[in-house]
Homo-oligomer: A and B are copies of this chain.
C-alpha cells in the first residue's frame, strides 16, 4: 500500500493508494478510525460498479453500514440534495461517531464533504474517489461545496477528510475521455512544482494512460503528494495554493464561452495551460521550448492542446477573464511558468492576457 500523508497539524490524514483495495477499506475504517458505524454516500452508477466490495468489507470488519444514493453528476450537488442526505442520516440515527464515506467522482465528493462538515457540526469523512480527476484533485485540500443557481461551488466549507482511499483499478470502468481529463491535472501539478516528476511523466505517460497498475499508482501518488505539499503550506488559500490555478484563467473562459458543454474541465484546463505557457515564453519569463514540451506531453495523453481561436469571440473572453465584470481594466492574477516545474502568479489586465494569444 502506498501512503501519502497530508500534513495539517491535528487535521493531518493519510491518502492510501493500492490497486484492488476496495474490499479492504472496511478493515481500515474499523482499525484506524475505530469506527463501528458508516454510511456510504454514493450515486446509482458508482454503486452499481463499486458498492458491493465496499459494503462487504465494512460488514466483514463489523462496521454497521447504511447507504444513501443521490443522483449522478454536478446537477445534484445542491443544498436541496444535501438536505435530503441530512434527512436520511437522521433516519438512520447516524451520530457524531458515524463515518460518512463518499464513494464517487468529484461532484459526489464535494457533496459528501459538505454534508460531513455540517451534519451535527462535523462527522468523520472518508473519501473514496472513483475518477482520476477526483483522485488527484478533490481528495487533497479539504474544499467542500454545493452549487447555487447563480454559480458553481458558491456554498461550501473547508473540512479535511480523516482518510482518502484510492483504488486505481476503478478507473478501468471510466470512459477514456474522463481518464484523459484527469491526466491534465497530473501534468498540471508536475508542470508547476516538480521538474523531475514531469520528466518521469514524459517517460511513462503511455503506461499511465494504459492504466498499467504500477505506473498509474506512482503517478497518482506523486500528484497527490505535490498537492498535499502545496495545501500543507497554504491550507486556506492565502497564496501558494493559487499556483494550482495554472491553466484555469483561460480554461474557465473557454468553458464559459462554450456554455460548459463542449469541453470537459480537464480539456479546457489543458488549453489554458498551453496558452499560459506560451504567454510565459512571450513575456520572457520562461525558457523557450517549455510550452512545446508541455504541449507535447499533453498531446501524448490524448488531450486537445490547441486553444480555440477567440478572435471572433474576443469580447466574451475578456468578460470571462475579468473578475469584476464592470472593471475590465482591473488586473487579475494569472499563473505563469518560470520553467518546467516552477510557476508564479503575475498580475495582468485581461487585455494583456489575451495579447499572449498565438
Contact = CB atoms under 8 A, between A and B. Distances in A.
Contacts of A117: 157
Contacts of A151: 90
A154 B122 contact: no
A158 B122 contact: yes
A150 interface: yes
Nearest to A121: B156
A151 B145 CA distance: 24
A148 interface: yes
Nearest to A82: B79
A37 interface: no
Contacts of A122: 157-158, 236
A83 B90 contact: no
Given A79-B83, A120-B156, 5 more contacts: A86-B154, A117-B157, A118-B155, A119-B154, A121-B157
Interface string A122-143: 1000000000000000000001
B86 A155 contact: yes
Interface size for chain A: under 10, 10 to 19, 20 to 34, or 35 or more residues? 20 to 34
Report the copy number of this chain in the oligomer: 2
Contacts of A153: 121
A310 B120 CA distance: 30
A119 B157 contact: no
Contacts of A236: 122
A119 B156 CA distance: 6
Contacts of A83: 79
Q: Classify the secondary structure of A's interface with B.
A: mixed
21 contacts: A79-B79, A87-B148, A90-B148, A90-B150, A90-B154, A114-B118, A117-B157, A118-B118, A118-B156, A118-B157, A119-B154, A119-B155, A120-B154, A120-B156, A121-B143, A121-B144, A121-B145, A121-B153, A121-B156, A122-B157, A122-B158
Contacts of A150: 90
A119 B158 CA distance: 11
A143 B143 CA distance: 20
A10 to B, nearest CB: 9
Nearest to A237: B121
A79 B84 CA distance: 12
A157 B157 contact: yes
Interface in A137-181: 143-145, 148, 150-151, 153-158
Nearest to A90: B150
Contacts of A90: 148, 150-151, 154
